Structure 1
């Protein structure tokens, strides 16, 4: 609980700086790059989060890896997190920053679950349809789940649209059991 509260405070701070600079998308790209690098390289994440290594070594490594790719304020933000021993909440900071950015820009994230990945044309058509229905700009996140048998399940916030075969079978079963 405490770590999520810390993550919110740090995310809000870097978000406000990005808004002041009018570079929300750019800061978001930098933060996403760092987060993806941590996911792609678990050794880096392990090193950065290990309290046995001195902060100076961690900061030196971060500078070597990201010096060319990050804006100075984002780099300073990372270094501050190292100094304050808060890098373990960076994933949460990244997620909260993305959420704040999406809210500010009027973007809704739609989680799309299918058995197999959708084609580019299907993704475009689905995105356009969801934008018409919601009145918001939509960002799609694809997921795969063979248990839905076929069709698609879309989740936008707390709203769920189940067009899967599994969902239809469950609805039919419920109807039959009710009669």
Structure 2
């Protein structure tokens, strides 16, 4: 009988432990194929975008009522011609073992393990609007200078961060938010707002 699959939550210790085990296996296979970055990027896209935007697909992956064969057919049909073979094989094995519901935990663990291996700093970035490519690279480059290490950004749009950007690296917080300017910010064009963020970012990183 196929085992029941639990919903993965951040506070689920069992999910995190299982995620770490499967993440190590995935990274090992991806490393042997010389495709760690590509595999992690595709897994992140699957978890953070595809499954988040398509709740029915996420539910099917979690459900013990959907057969292994059907889950594997779905994987082939949706991703067979665009996903790296290492990741596709991994997902099919996860389907056999009833672990597709744990993909978020596996992604978190894989990213953490790779960050540790590379000595990479993780920066949580909260901004009122999505970062532009230019601003993203500016933030990454500046933080790399500050910490003298490679930096990976974890981005989150947070409307409460009015007119600025808040960056947390461990216990260090860089805060350029200007919450008192709600009315003026609401009238800014998107490009102008991104420029404003860059200016604010320059101001508070220059002081470090």
Higher mean alpha-carbon deviation, 18-27 vs 135-144, is at 135-144
* In the alignment, structure 1 residue 99 sits paired with structure 2 residue 151: no
Runs of 4+, deviation exceeding 6 Å: none
Structure 1 gaps, min length 5: 167-179
Structure 2 gaps, min length 5: 1-12, 180-208
User: What is the alpha-carbon distance in structure 1 between the residues aligned to residue 90 and residue 31 of structure 2?
Assistant: 15
CA RMSD of aligned residues (A): 2.3
Flag the structure with higher helix content.
1
User: What is the alpha-carbon distance in structure 2 between the residues aligned to residue 8 and residue 37 of structure 1?
Assistant: 22
TM-score under structure 2 normalisation?
Answer: 0.69
2:69 aligned partner? 56
User: What is the alpha-carbon distance in structure 1 between the residues aligned to residue 41 and residue 137 of structure 2?
Assistant: 22
Distance 1:119 1:2, change over 3 A: closer
* In the alignment, structure 1 residue 86 sits paired with structure 2 residue 99: yes
The Cα shift of 1:110 comes to 1.6
TM-score under structure 1 normalisation?
Answer: 0.79
User: What is the alpha-carbon distance in structure 2 between the residues aligned to residue 97 and residue 106 of structure 1?
Assistant: 14
List per-residue Cα deviations over 1:6-59 (Å, max 9, x = no partner). 111001111122222322112212322332321221111111211112111111
2:84 aligned partner? 71
Number of equivalenced pairs: 166
2:39 aligned partner? 27
